[in-house]
């Protein structure tokens, strides 16, 4: 088992100082997906974040979530 750290930057920053003991990089990826789903549920348009999975000071995985709001003008009725 190895300790992985899940750090978040962006709109919802979080520095993981405890980490989590996991079996391998694949288990860390699954944990990262769960964390990313939780973060994505709280984002609003224009927010964004980057989740980094670290192990022994190395970047193992990264997930980036970007949201955008597009404002399009209303359609004008030109039939008159």
Q: What does the pLDDT look like over 19-76, one tens digit per residue?
A: 999 999 999 999 999 999 999 998 888 889 999 999 999 999 999 999 888 877 767 6
| 30-42 exposure pattern, b = at least 16 Cβ within 10 A, e = fewer | ebbeebbeebeee
Cα(1)–Cα(25) distance, integer angstroms: 10
pLDDT at 80 over 70: no
Q: Which of 63, 59, 60, 22 is nearest to 39 (CA)?
A: 63
Full-model pTM: 0.80
* CB contact at 8 A, 19 and 4: yes
């Amino acid at each position: 088992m190895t300790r992985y750290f899940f750090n978040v930057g962006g709109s919802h920053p979080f520095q993981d100082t405890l980490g989590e003991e996991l079996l391998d990089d694949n288990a860390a990826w699954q944990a990262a997906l769960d964390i990313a789903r939780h973060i994505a549920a709280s984002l609003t348009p224009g927010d964004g974040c980057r989740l980094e999975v670290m192990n022994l000071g190395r970047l193992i995985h990264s997930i980036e979530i970007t949201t955008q709001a597009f404002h399009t003008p209303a359609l004008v009725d030109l039939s008159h």
